C-alpha cells in the first residue's frame, strides 16, 4: 500500500522535466502565467503544440494505435504534473481531448486519415457545438436541425458557449437528424467546416472582458453526409463518450497545486484569514491530485473505472474558484484592476498596478465562475455522484 | 422607531430612483460611471449636496438620507463618485477647509462640475511621506487606488500615521496621475506625488472624531449601494429560476435551487438589518456599527453575486446580462477600505 | 427610518433591567449559565417562573384578555433581550409558549378556567406529544389512534422526542381520531393526564449524556372527550397555529448575542481563526436580533406577519451551533471533558478541567446539533422560505 | 506503487477487523475503551507490538501497518490506548529507554498488561517546569489531557522548550492523578506533578528526528482511526437515507439529501487520498504529510459527523445510535494535538 513512485516512474519524470527545462521557453511560460482564460490563446498554444508534437508527446493520452506514445495512466499523470509545475500553456482541449478520441474511436478510416493529422499539426483548430440557448445542462433538448439533402445535410440552428470558435476552422456539433424519434435517439454527430456558407460567429464577451466564448449561427449550412461520425442517431452515444472523457480525462490537481504555489510566490507570505484559506486550498488541491493518482494506478492495474473519478471536475472547479478569489483578496487593491486590453502578456498591456501577477487577478476571478457551470454544472455533478458513486 | 423612510426620505428616494431609471437603462447599467451631463443633473437635483452640512451650503443629510441615495444607485447599478467625492471629500472640505478651498470646491462638487478624489491609507494602497517645509509640507509617495482619480480636479490625501489631511489640486507640479480601469468599468488612478509642495492652507483641519464619522458615512454609502445591487441581482435571479426551464420544468422547482435562493433571501434580510442598525446607531456607536454592517454585507454581497451567477448558468458569466456586470461591481465595492477582511480585523482588535 | 428606541421604550428597558438586577439571583444566573440542554431544569425554572408570575411578567407574550400585560411586540423583544443579557434561565416553552396560546385561543371556557391558572402557577408541567417514530418532519403521517368510548377516548400509540416528559404531569398530543379521513383531516388535539394508567415514559439519552428527551408510550389511555381542544378533526389547524408560534414566537438573536459574549468573557480574547469565527458569529447574531426587532416594529405598526420571520429559526439554529462549536475549539483540551453527572451546576459535579464554563462545552456542542432537526429541520425551513418568502 | 494492502497487511487488517467485530458489537461500539481482557487479547495477537522496532522485540511495522490497524479500530468504533500507548510511548521507550525501562514496560505494553500514557506539551495542556537536581530532575506542574491516564502505570512527559522526555511511574511520590471523562466516554486524567523527583535513568534519549517521526506516526494512527469511523458513519447514513421515508418517499430521493451525501463521499475520498499520501511519503516529507492529512481529515471528520447526525434526524442526536456516539468520538479525535486549527497554523508557519 504505497503511492510512492517506483524508480522507472521517477526516471520518466526526470525525462519529462529535462524536456520541459529545455523546450518550454520563458516566453511560453510567461504567456501561460498571464493567460486569463481557460485555454491558452493560439499565439501561445500553437508553438507549444508543435514542440510537443515534434517530441511525440502531443497526443500522450491517445492509444498507441491512434498515434499515442503508449503511456500508462500514471505516466500521463506524471506528465501533466510536470507540465503544470513548469507552467506550460494549457492547450485547448476541443481537438486533442474531445473530438480526437471521438475520431479515432468512432470515425471511419477515411475520416481518421483526413482529420487526425491536421488536428495534430494544428492546421485544424476545433470548436465544440453542443450547447444551445435553450439547452444548457439538458443537452437532449437541443434543436439544431440537420435535414438530408442528397449527399449532404442542411444544418440550421444556433450553438452557444462555443469556446474559441473565432479561432476555429472546424466545428463538431450535435444536430437533430430525426425530429420524430425520442430526444436522445434523433441526434447525430457532424463535422462542420467553419468556412461553409451560412456559418456566422458572434462573440460573447465575458464579464471579465475576455473574448473566449461565442455564438455560432448555422443557416442552412451544407455538410456532406461523409462528415457524419458514426451512424445517424448515434450522436448521443458519442456525446456521452466525449463528455466522460471531458470529465475524467486529465488531472486537475497538479495544475491547481502549481497555480496556488505560483500565486503565493507572487504575493509573498499571507497572514490571518488569507493564510488559513491558502492552507485549506492547498490541502484540497493536494488531496485532489492524489485522488487522481489513485485512479490512475487503479486503471493501470486493470480495474474498471471508479466512480471516484466523478468528483474530479466538481472539486477542481471549487478549488479553482477558491484560488482565484484568494488572489483578488491577497493582492489587495491591486487585485481590483481590470484592463480592457488583451492578452495580459501582450505589448499593448498598460503598466500593472502592483506586481504583474495581480493584473489578471480580477479577470481570472470572474472567468473562473464559469468552471462550476460549463461542462456539467456542479449541481449536475453532485446528482451524478449521488447516483453513480453513492448509489442513491 | 420607524422602519419606513420619512416622507422627505421617500421623496428623495423616489426622485433619485426615477432619475436613474430614466438615465440608466438596464443595458447600460453596470458598465461604468454616469456621463458627466447626468452627474451635473444630479447636482442640479441637490443629490450631491446631501451629505454636506447646511452651514457649508449643503442639505445636511444624515446616514439615513445617504443610505437611501446610495441604495438607489445600487438598485439601478448606476455608478459615479458618490461615496468618496460627494460624501467624503465634500464633508472633509466643508469641515476643515479654509474659505478659499470651500468656495472653490464645495460648490463644484455639489453641482457635479468637479470631482475631488480620495487617496486614503491602508494595506496595499501605497506609501506616502510628508515632511515639514517652511510653512507647508513636501509630499512624496503614491496612492494606488484612487477611485475616479483620472478625472479629478483635486485629491484629498490622508496619512495613517499623521493627522494630516491634505487637499491637493491635480495640476500641482509633481502630481502624476496614471489612470487605469477597475473591474467594474470605472476609472481609477494611481497618483504619484514627487516632491509635491503643499501650502499650509491645503491642510484640512478636521477633528479625529469628525473624520472617523465622515469615513464611516462613506463606508455606509458603499454598504447601502451593495445592498441595493444585491436586491437587483436577487430579483433577477428569482425571475430567472422561475422562467428558465431544464429537463421540462422551471429550475426554480428543484429543491437545491430553492434552498439556494432561500439562502440569498436570508443574506439580503440580514444585510438590511445591519444597515438599518448602523443608520440608527447613536454617535458613539456609529463607526463600529458601520464597520459591522460593512463586514457582513461585503461578504454577503459577493456570495450573493456568485450564486446569482451560478443560478443564471452560462449567461451569468457574460457581460450581456446585468448579473455579470453587477457581480463585477460588487467585487469592487466589497473590497474597498480593505474589504471584509480588514473590517473583521478591525472588529477583532 | 430608525430603529433607535424612543424614550418610553428606554424607560421600559430600565424597568426590566432594574427588576432583573433585583430578582435574578446569582444562583439562578449560575444555573442558567451551566445548563447544557435547551431548557432550564425544574430546579431552576420553577423558582424563576414564580418570580416572573408574581411580577405579572410570566405570560408577557399573551394578550391582555388571556392575562398578559399588554406589551407591544417591541416591549417583548426588549424584555427578551434584557433577560438574555442578564442570563435568566430559559423557561420550558411547552406550556407557556405552545399549549398556553392554544388553550386561550381554542379552548372552551371550562378548559381555560381549568388549565390556565395551573399552567401559570407551575403546578402543571406540560410535555408536547407531536412527533412519532415514523413521522418526524412528516407530521401528517402520525399513527397514534384515539378511539371513542362513551365520554372518553382510548388513546394508543407512541410519541417520541418528548422534551422533559419525565418532569411533566400533562401531555398535549395530536392523535388520529378518524383513520378514514385524509391524513390531515383525521387529527385531533387532546390534553392527557400523565398519571393516567397506560402512560409510560422511557428516557432517551442524548449523545451528550443529557436526559432531556423521552419516548411516551400510550396504551389504551383513557382521556375524557372534554379534554379535546376544539372540534374533532381540528387538530391539524391547531397544530399549525402552534408550530407558527413555535417558529415565530420569540426572539433568538438577543440570547445568541449574550451567549457569545459570555463565551468570550470565559475564554478571554481569541486569536487567528477563532477570532474570525467569533466575529462572524457576532455579526450573524446582531443581524438576527435586528431582523427580529424589525419584525416586532412592523407588527406593532399593524402590518401583516412578514415572511422574513421565517428565517429566524433556521438562522438561530446555525448560530447556536456555531457558538457551541467555537466554544469547544476555544477551550482547547478543556473543551473535550464530558462528565456523566448532571446538572453542571449541581453539587455532585466533579471539579472542572480548566475554567468552569468549559465543563458543559462538549455537552452543549452535542446537544445543539438538535437545533437544526427539531421543530422543523433546516431543510424544511429552507423549503418554507423558498415558497413563502421567495415565492418559488 | 500499489493501492491495495500487501498480503501481510491484508492478513493483519482481517485479523484485527475480525477480532473487533467479535468483541465490539454495534450496540457496545463507541461507548468507551475495550475491556482489559480484550486489550490483552489484542496483545496476544501481536497487534500492540506492531509499531515497536524489531530490535526492541516488536514487529517493526511502518506507517502502512499502523494506519491499517487504526483504521480498523475506527471502522468498528472500538477504543483503546492504541495511538499514544502502543505507538507513541512504546516507541519512545524502545528508542530511548534504558535496559530496565525497556524490559519493564515494552513487554507490558505490547502484551496489553500495562498502559503508559502520554502528557505532551501544547496550548491548554498545562505548564510544566523541570529543574536539575543532582543527577536527576525535579518536576513541577501539570498535564491536563492525558488520555488513558487514569489507569496508566507510567507516564511519558514531554516538554516543549527542552529536549526532555521523562518516563515517570504513576506511583512516584508527588504524582497526583485526577481522572475525568472525555466526550467519547474514555477516561483521561489531569496529572499533577508536585516536586516529583526524577532519576536520570528516567530520561528517554530520543533524537529530535526520531521523536518527530514517532509523534507523526501517532497522529497518523489518529487520522486513520478517524477515516475508519467516517466510513462507518457514511455507510450508516447512506443506509438510513435509503430506508427512511418521509412524505411517502425515501429521503434519499430528495435532491438536497443526495447532494449532501455526495459531499460526504467527496470528503471521505479526499481524506483517504491524504492518508495514503502520508503513508507513502519518504522520511523527510513524512511529518509534514501527516500534519497535512490530519489538518484535512480532522475538519472533514467533524463535518461528516455533523451531516450524518443531521441526516439521521432526531435519532442522530441520541446515544442509542452509533452515529451519535461516533460523532462524540470524532469530536475528541479531531481535537487531539491541537486539532485542525493547530495543524493549519503549523503548516502556515
Interface residue C386 vs chain B (CB under 8 A):
yes
8 A C-beta contact, residue D24 and residue A320: no
pLDDT at D1: 82
Annotated active-site residue in C82, C215, C246, C292 = C246
Residue C227 in this model has a pLDDT that exceeds 70: yes
Residue range D263-277, pLDDT digits in tens:
999 999 999 999 999
| CA distance linking residue D80 with residue C336, whole number of Å | 17
Whole-model pTM over 0.90: yes
Smallest CA–CA distance, residue D175 to chain C, in Å, is 17
Domain ranges of chain C: 7-103, 125-238, 246-390
Q: Which residues in chain A touch residue D227, judged by CB atoms under 8 angstroms apart?
A: none
Q: Quick check: C65 contacting B, CB < 8 Å?
A: no
Count of A-C CB contacts under 8 Å: 7
Tell me which of 1.20.20.10, 2.40.110.10, 1.20.140.10, 1.10.260.40 is the CATH number of domain C246-390: 1.20.140.10
Residue burial B215-227, b: 16+ Cβ < 10 Å; e: rest: bbbbbbbbbbbbb
Equal CATH topology for A7-103 and A125-238: no
CB contact under 8 A, C2 and B242: no
Q: Which residues of C touch A273 (CB under 8 A)?
A: 273, 276
Residues from chain A that touch B335, judged by Cβ atoms under 8 A, are 328-329, 333, 335-336
Q: Is the pLDDT of residue A136 over 80?
A: no
Which residue in the set A284, A286, A385 is minimally distant from D277, CB to CB? A286
pLDDT at A139: 82
How many interface pairs between A and D have CB atoms less than 8 angstroms apart? 115
| Cell triple for D91 | 516507541
C131-184 residue pLDDT tens:
999 887 788 889 999 999 999 999 999 999 999 999 999 999 999 999 999 988
Q: What is the DSSP letter of B161?
A: S
Q: Per mean pLDDT, which range of A299-308, B16-25, B136-145, C9-18 is the poorest?
A: A299-308
Q: Is the pLDDT of residue D160 over 80?
A: no
**Cα–Cα–Cα angle for B271, B277, B278, rounded to 5 degrees:** 95
The arithmetic mean of pLDDT across residues C348-357, rounded, is 96
- Best of B249, B251, B254, B255 to substitute, by most chain D Cβ atoms within 10 angstroms, is B255
Query: What value does the mean pLDDT take over residues D175-186?
Result: 98
**Residue range C4-19: mean pLDDT, rounded:** 97
- pLDDT at C136 (0 to 100): 72
pLDDT digits (tens, 9 = 90+) for B247-304: 899 999 999 999 999 999 999 999 999 999 999 999 999 999 999 999 999 999 999 9
**Nearest CB to D145 within list C136, C161, C336:** C336
Average pLDDT (A175-194) is: 95
Instruction: Check residue C262 and give its pLDDT.
Output: 98
pLDDT digits (tens, 9 = 90+) for B65-108: 999 999 999 999 999 999 999 999 999 999 999 999 999 999 99
Q: How far apart are CA D220 and CA D281, in angstroms?
A: 12
**How many angstroms separate the CA atoms of C336 and C359, rounded?**
8
Q: What are the E-state strand segments in chain C?
A: 126-129, 145-149, 152-160, 170-176, 187-193, 199-205, 211-224, 228-229
Per-residue pLDDT, A183: 86
- Give me the pLDDT at residue D301, please: 98
Interface of B with D in 230-289 (CB under 8 A): 254-256, 259
The answer to whether D344 contacts chain A (CB < 8 Å) is: yes
Mean local confidence (pLDDT), A369-383? 94
Q: Cα separation of C172 and C191, whole Å? A: 5
- For residues A363-376, one letter each, b for 16 or more C-beta atoms within 10 angstroms of the residue's C-beta and e for the rest, the string is bbbbbbbbbbbbbb
User: Could you tell me if D262 lies within 8 Å of chain A, comparing CB atoms?
Assistant: yes
ipTM for the predicted complex comes to 0.97
Chain B CA closest to residue C288 = B270
* pLDDT of B212 higher than 80: yes
Query: What's the CATH fold of domain D7-110?
Result: Butyryl-Coa Dehydrogenase, subunit A; domain 1 (1.10.540)
Asked if B213 and B286 count as a contact pair (C-beta separation under 8 A), the reply is yes
pLDDT at residue B164, rounded to an integer? 80
Q: Does A335 touch chain B if contact means CB atoms closer than 8 Å?
A: yes
Cβ atoms of residues B227 and B326 within 8 Å: no
What does the pLDDT read at residue B274? 98
- CATH 2.40.110.10 residue ranges in chain B? 116-202
How confident is the model over A58-110, as pLDDT tens digits? 999 999 999 999 999 999 999 999 999 999 999 999 999 999 999 999 999 99
pLDDT at A367 over 90: yes
Tell me what percent of the residues of chain A surpass a pLDDT of 90: 93
D183 and C334: CB-CB below 8 Å? no
pLDDT of residue C135: 80
Answer whether residue D242 shows pLDDT above 70.
yes
Contacts C382 to D, Cβ<8 Å: 256
- CA C380 to chain centroid, in Å, comes to 18
Work out the minimum CA distance from A321 to partner chain D, whole angstroms: 17
CB under 8 Å to D255, separation ≥6 — which residues?
A383, B254, B255, B256
Q: What is the pLDDT of residue A247?
A: 65
The closest of D102, D211, D238 to D167, measured between CA atoms, is D102
CATH topology of domain A7-103: Butyryl-Coa Dehydrogenase, subunit A; domain 1 (1.10.540)
**pLDDT interval class at A135 (50, 70, 90):** confident
The pLDDT, as a whole number, for residue C29 is 98
CATH code at D208-348: 1.20.140.10
A192-240: pLDDT as tens digits:
999 999 999 999 999 999 999 999 999 999 999 999 999 999 999 999 9
- Mean pLDDT across chain B, nearest whole number? 96
* Interchain pair B254, A379: CB under 8 A: yes
User: In CATH, which superfamily holds the domain spanning C125-238?
Assistant: Butyryl-CoA Dehydrogenase, subunit A, domain 2 (2.40.110.10)
**Cβ-Cβ contacts under 8 Å, C38 against chain D:** none
Once rounded to an integer, what is the mean pLDDT over residues B143-154? 97
- Percent of chain D surpassing pLDDT 70: 99
pLDDT in tens, B149-198: 999 999 999 987 667 899 999 999 999 999 999 999 999 999 999 999 99
Q: What is the mean pLDDT of residues D99-114?
A: 95
Q: What is the pLDDT of residue C248?
A: 61
Specify the CATH superfamily of domain D116-202: Butyryl-CoA Dehydrogenase, subunit A, domain 2 (2.40.110.10)
> Which residues have C-beta within 8 Å of that of residue B104, sequence separation ≥ 6?
none
pLDDT category, B239, cuts 50, 70, 90? Answer: very high
- Active-site positions of A? 246
Question: Within an 8 Å CB–CB cutoff, is residue A108 touching chain B?
Answer: no
- Is B313 within 8 Å of chain A by CB? yes
pLDDT for position C247: 65
pLDDT band at B321 (very low <50, low <70, confident <90, very high): very high
Q: How many residues does chain B have?
A: 349
Parts of chain D belonging to CATH 1.10.540.10 = 7-110
Mutation for testing the A interface, residue in D70, D238, D266 having most A CBs under 10 Å:
D266
- Cα of A271 to nearest chain C Cα, Å: 9
Mean pLDDT, chain D, whole residue set: 96
For position A285, what pLDDT does the model report? 98
Instruction: Over range A326-348, report the average pLDDT.
Output: 97
Distance CA(A138)–CA(A149), nearest Å, equals 28
pLDDT at A248: 61
Strand partners, D132: D137
Amino acid at each position: 500500500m504505497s503511492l510512492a513512485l517506483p524508480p522507472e516512474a521517477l526516471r520518466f519524470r526526470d525525462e519529462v522535466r529535462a524536456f520541459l527545462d529545455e523546450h518550454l521557453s520563458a516566453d511560453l511560460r510567461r504567456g501561460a502565467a498571464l493567460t486569463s482564460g481557460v485555454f491558452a490563446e493560439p499565439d501561445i498554444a500553437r508553438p507549444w503544440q508543435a514542440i510537443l508534437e515534434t517530441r511525440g508527446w502531443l497526443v500522450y493520452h491517445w492509444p498507441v494505435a491512434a498515434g499515442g506514445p503508449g503511456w500508462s495512466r500514471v505516466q500521463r499523470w506524471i506528465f501533466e504534473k510536470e507540465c503544470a509545475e513548469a507552467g506550460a500553456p494549457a492547450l485547448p482541449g476541443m481537438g486533442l481531448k474531445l473530438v480526437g478520441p471521438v475520431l479515432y474511436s468512432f470515425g471511419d478510416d477515411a475520416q481518421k486519415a483526413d482529420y487526425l493529422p491536421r488536428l495534430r499539426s494544428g492546421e485544424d483548430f476545433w470548436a465544440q457545438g453542443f450547447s444551445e440557448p435553450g439547452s444548457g445542462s439538458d443537452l437532449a433538448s437541443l434543436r439544431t436541425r440537420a435535414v438530408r439533402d442528397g449527399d449532404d445535410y442542411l444544418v440550421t440552428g444556433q450553438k452557444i458557449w462555443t469556446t474559441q470558435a473565432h479561432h476555429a476552422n472546424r466545428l463538431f456539433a450535435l444536430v437533430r437528424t430525426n425530429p420524430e424519434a425520442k430526444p436522445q435517439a434523433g441526434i447525430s454527430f457532424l463535422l462542420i467546416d467553419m468556412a461553409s456558407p451560412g456559418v456566422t460567429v458572434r462573440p460573447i464577451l465575458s464579464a471579465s472582458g475576455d473574448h473566449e466564448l461565442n455564438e455560432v449561427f448555422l443557416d442552412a449550412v451544407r455538410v456532406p453526409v461523409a462528415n457524419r461520425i458514426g451512424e445517424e442517431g448515434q450522436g448521443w452515444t458519442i456525446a456521452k463518450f466525449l463528455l466522460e472523457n471531458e470529465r475524467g480525462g486529465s488531472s486537475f490537481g497538479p495544475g491547481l497545486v502549481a497555480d496556488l504555489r505560483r500565486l503565493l510566490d507572487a504575493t509573498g507570505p499571507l497572514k490571518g484569514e488569507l493564510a488559513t484559506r491558502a492552507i485549506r486550498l492547498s490541502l484540497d488541491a493536494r488531496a485532489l491530485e492524489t485522488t487522481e493518482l489513485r485512479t490512475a494506478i487503479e486503471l493501470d492495474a486493470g480495474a474498471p473505472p471508479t466512480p471516484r473519478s466523478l468528483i474530479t471536475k466538481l472539486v477542481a472547479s471549487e478549488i479553482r474558484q477558491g484560488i482565484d478569489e484568494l488572489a483578488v483578496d491577497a493582492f489587495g487593491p491591486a487585485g481590483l484592476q481590470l484592463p480592457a486590453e488583451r492578452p495580459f502578456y501582450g505589448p499593448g498591456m498598460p503598466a500593472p498596478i502592483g506586481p504583474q501577477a495581480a493584473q489578471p487577478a480580477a479577470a481570472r476571478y470572474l472567468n473562473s465562475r464559469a468552471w462550476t457551470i460549463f461542462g456539467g454544472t456542479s449541481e449536475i455533478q453532485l446528482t451524478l455522484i449521488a447516483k453513480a458513486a453513492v448509489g442513491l | 422607531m420607524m422602519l419606513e423612510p420619512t416622507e422627505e426620505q421617500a421623496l428623495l428616494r423616489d426622485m433619485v430612483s426615477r432619475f436613474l431609471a430614466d438615465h440608466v437603462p438596464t443595458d447600460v447599467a453596470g458598465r461604468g460611471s454616469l456621463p458627466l451631463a447626468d452627474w451635473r443633473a444630479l447636482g442640479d437635483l441637490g443629490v450631491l449636496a446631501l451629505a454636506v452640512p447646511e452651514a457649508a451650503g449643503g442639505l445636511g443629510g444624515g446616514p439615513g438620507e445617504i443610505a437611501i441615495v446610495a441604495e438607489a444607485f445600487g438598485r439601478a447599478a448606476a455608478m459615479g463618485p458618490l461615496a468618496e467625492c460627494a460624501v467624503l471629500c465634500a464633508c472633509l472640505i466643508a469641515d476643515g477647509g479654509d474659505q478659499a478651498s470651500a468656495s472653490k470646491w464645495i460648490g463644484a462638487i455639489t453641482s457635479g462640475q468637479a470631482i475631488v478624489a480620495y487617496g486614503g491609507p491602508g494595506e496595499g494602497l501605497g506609501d506616502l511621506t510628508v515632511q515639514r517645509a517652511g510653512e507647508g509640507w513636501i509630499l512624496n509617495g503614491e496612492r494606488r487606488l484612487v477611485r475616479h482619480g483620472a478625472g479629478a480636479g483635486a485629491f484629498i490625501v490622508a496619512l495613517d500615521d499623521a493627522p494630516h489631511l491634505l487637499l491637493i489640486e491635480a495640476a500641482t507640479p509633481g502630481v502624476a496621475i496614471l489612470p487605469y480601469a477597475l473591474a467594474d468599468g470605472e476609472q481609477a488612478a494611481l497618483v504619484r506625488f514627487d516632491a509635491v509642495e503643499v501650502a499650509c492652507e491645503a491642510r484640512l483641519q478636521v477633528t479625529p472624531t469628525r473624520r472617523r464619522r465622515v469615513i464611516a458615512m462613506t463606508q455606509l454609502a458603499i454598504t447601502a449601494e451593495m445592498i441595493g445591487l444585491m436586491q437587483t441581482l436577487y430579483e433577477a435571479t428569482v425571475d430567472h429560476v422561475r422562467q428558465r426551464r431544464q429537463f421540462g420544468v422551471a429550475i426554480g422547482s428543484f429543491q437545491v435551487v430553492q434552498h439556494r435562493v432561500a439562502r440569498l433571501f436570508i443574506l439580503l434580510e440580514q444585510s438590511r438589518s445591519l444597515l438599518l442598525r448602523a443608520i440608527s446607531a447613536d454617535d458613539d456607536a456609529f463607526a463600529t456599527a458601520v464597520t459591522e454592517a460593512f463586514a457582513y454585507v461585503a461578504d454577503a454581497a459577493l456570495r450573493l453575486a456568485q450564486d446569482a451567477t451560478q443560478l443564471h448558468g452560462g449567461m451569468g458569466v457574460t457581460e450581456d446580462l446585468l448579473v455579470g456586470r453587477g457581480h463585477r461591481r460588487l467585487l469592487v465595492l466589497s473590497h474597498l477600505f480593505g474589504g471584509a477582511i480588514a473590517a473583521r480585523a478591525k472588529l477583532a482588535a
